[in-house]
Chain A
Amino acid sequence: MDSLNELEVLQKIQKVAAPTDLYHKVCAGIKPSQQVSSTLSIAASIAFFLLAATNIWFVSQNLTTQQEYDADNGYYETILSNDSNQLYNE
């Protein structure tokens, strides 16, 4: 293999000790990411639970949404209506 004399100077590089405070920096780098991921998973669980609960309540109340034209104000209005009441009125 080719030898290269200029590389010999690299063999004189000495080993040095790592800074002593590096371990604390490493630990600080590990903990926030774990905290963020656990906070995110809790937030996602709460959001999912609320969505599921709202959905169940809507179904149990026979509620649907419908749009009705509000002639006075000139726009469509989304209103919650109850299917059973609507049938009764009709």
Chain B
Amino acid sequence: MLEESSFKNIYDTYIDMVYNLCLNYLQNSSDAEDVCQNVFIKVHQHIKQFEGKSSLKTWIYRVTINQCHDFTKAKKRKKRFGNIVSLFQENIADSTLPLPDFNHPGVLLEDKEAVAAIFNKINKLPTNQKTAIVLKTIEGMSQKEIAEVMEISTKAVESLLSRARSGLKKMLNK
């Protein structure tokens, strides 16, 4: 197990990076906090398996994205179950899970509507395309850095970004 002081150092260095990536991926501060907690628990449990093939930052980025995927999948599953239950019970409309509410503290009030609308479209993209566009556009990462995080080639990143942009264009023109 990791010593507490070393873990605190890792936590202090990367917490803001992880929290902001979670916010940009999930667009909800409460969900971002939950996932952050899971990310650092995973880091604590699996730091010994970190082989140093990539930088610690890249590895933590990867863990964060995987945790965001798992969280999103679990949330969708819950929502689907809620929908199925509501089919059998007429008066359950109030108790079903609400739609994911947009609550991103980093978005300026005047941009909130526009950002929420574009995130709504980004969330409909396939997972890999969403990850690439979030890392490129919001996190400002280079294609090489994205390739390292996603463990794919830079060519594949370029293709994902291109497909994501044309997908978004189609959705915006509808």
- B41 pairs with A9, CB closer than 8 A: no
- B115 pairs with A6, CB closer than 8 A: no
Q: How far is the CA of A19 from the CA of B158 in the complex (A)?
A: 35
The residues of B that contact A87 with a CB separation of less than 8 Å are none
- B106 pairs with A18, CB closer than 8 A: no
- B108 pairs with A30, CB closer than 8 A: no
Q: A7-B137, A22-B33 are in contact. Are A16 and B118 (CB under 8 A)?
A: no
The reply to whether the CB of B169 lies closer than 8 angstroms to some CB of chain A is: yes
Chain B, 123-174, CB within 8 A of any chain A CB: 133, 137-138, 140, 158, 161-162, 165-166, 168-169, 172
The reply to whether the CB of A1 lies closer than 8 angstroms to some CB of chain B is: yes
- B70 smallest CB distance to A (angstroms): 15
Q: How far is the CA of A6 from the CA of B117 in the complex (A)?
A: 10
- B115 pairs with A16, CB closer than 8 A: no
- A14 pairs with B106, CB closer than 8 A: yes
- A30 pairs with B172, CB closer than 8 A: no
Q: Measuring CB to CB, which residues of chain A are less than 8 angstroms from any residue of chain B? A: 1-4, 6-7, 9-19, 22-23, 25-26, 29-30, 33-34
Q: Measuring CB to CB, which residues of chain B are less than 8 angstroms from any residue of chain A? A: 1, 8, 11, 15-16, 18-20, 23-24, 33, 36-38, 40-41, 44, 104-108, 111, 114-115, 118, 133, 137-138, 140, 158, 161-162, 165-166, 168-169, 172
List 16 A–B pairs whose Cβ atoms lie within 8 Å, in order of A's numbering.
A2-B166, A4-B165, A4-B172, A6-B118, A9-B115, A9-B118, A11-B137, A12-B111, A13-B24, A13-B138, A15-B20, A15-B106, A18-B18, A22-B19, A22-B37, A26-B36
Q: Lowest 10 A-B CB distances belong to which pairs? A: A18-B19, A26-B40, A14-B106, A2-B165, A18-B15, A16-B106, A13-B106, A9-B114, A29-B41, A16-B105
